[in-house]
Amino acid sequence: MRESHPRLPAITVVALLLLQTLFLARWSSAQSPTPPQQPQSQPQQQQQPDQTAPEAGGPGNDNGPIAIPKKAPNAAPPPPPEPTVKNPPGLGNLSLRVDVPVVNVDVGVLADKTHQFIPNLKQDNFRVFEDGVPQDLVSFHQVKAPITAVLLVEFAANSWNFIYDMWNSAFAFTQQLRPDDYIAVVTYDMHTTILTDFTQNKMMIQQAVQSLRMPTWQETNLFDATYETLDRLSRIDGRKYIILVSSGRDTFSKITLDKCLAKIKETPNVTIFSIATGGAGVMGGGGFASGRMNNITMLQAQNQLQSFARMTGGMYFEPRFTAELPEDFGAINESIRNQYQLTYKPSNIRMDGTYRRIRIELVDAEGHPLKMQDEKHKPVKYDIIARDGYKAKQQVE
| 3-state SS record for 305-361 | HHHHHHHHCCCEECCCCHHHHHHHHHHHHHHHHCEEEEEECCCCCCCECCEEEEEEE
Q: What was the pLDDT predicted at 137?
A: 94
Question: Which of these three, 288, 321, 337, is where a domain ends?
Answer: 337
Alpha-carbon distances, residue 391 vs 130, 258, 307, 344 (angstroms): 12, 15, 17, 15
When computed from its CA atoms, the radius of gyration of the chain, rounded to whole angstroms, is 48
Q: What was the pLDDT predicted at 260?
A: 96
Any domain includes 90 = no
Q: Are 107 and 126 in contact (CB under 8 A)?
A: yes
Any domain includes 348 = yes
For residue 14, pLDDT beyond 50: yes
Any domain includes 324 = yes
Q: What is the residue-averaged pLDDT of the chain?
A: 78
Tell me the C-alpha distance between 170 and 325, whole Å. Answer: 9
For residue 65, pLDDT beyond 70: no
Q: Are residues 282 and 299 in the same domain?
A: yes
More confident residue, 213 or 377: 377
Strand 103-111 vs strand 382-385: parallel, antiparallel, or unpaired? Answer: antiparallel
Q: Are residues 122 and 175 in the same domain?
A: no
Residues above pLDDT 70, as percent of the chain: 70
More confident residue, 28 or 57: 28
Tell me the C-alpha distance between 230 and 271, whole Å. Answer: 10
Q: What was the pLDDT predicted at 290?
A: 43
For residue 153, pLDDT beyond 60: yes
Any domain includes 4 = no
pLDDT band at 56 (very low <50, low <70, confident <90, very high): very low
Domain of residue 318: give its range.
Answer: 146-337
Q: Span 333-337, mean pLDDT?
A: 83
Any domain includes 361 = yes
Q: What is the DSSP letter of 289?
A: G
For residue 55, pLDDT beyond 80: no
pLDDT band at 275 (very low <50, low <70, confident <90, very high): very high
Q: What was the pLDDT predicted at 26?
A: 60
Q: Are residues 230 and 168 in the same domain?
A: yes
For residue 336, pLDDT beyond 70: yes
Question: Which of these three, 337, 361, 381, is where a domain ends?
Answer: 337
Residues above pLDDT 90, as percent of the chain: 32
Q: Are residues 180 and 260 in the same domain?
A: yes
The enclosing domain of 247 has a CATH number of 3.40.50.410
Number of domains in the chain: 2
Q: Is the whole-model pTM more than 0.85?
A: no
Q: Are residues 346 and 310 in the same domain?
A: no
Q: What was the pLDDT predicted at 133?
A: 96
Question: Which of these three, 294, 311, 337, is where a domain ends?
Answer: 337
Q: Are residues 262 and 313 in the same domain?
A: yes
More confident residue, 23 or 348: 348
Tell me the C-alpha distance between 167 and 164, whole Å. Answer: 5
Any domain includes 355 = yes
For residue 395, pLDDT beyond 70: yes
Alpha-carbon distances, residue 97 vs 94, 197, 354, 373, 397 (angstroms): 10, 34, 21, 49, 11
More confident residue, 323 or 43: 323
Q: What was the pLDDT predicted at 71?
A: 53
Q: Span 306-315, mean pLDDT?
A: 92
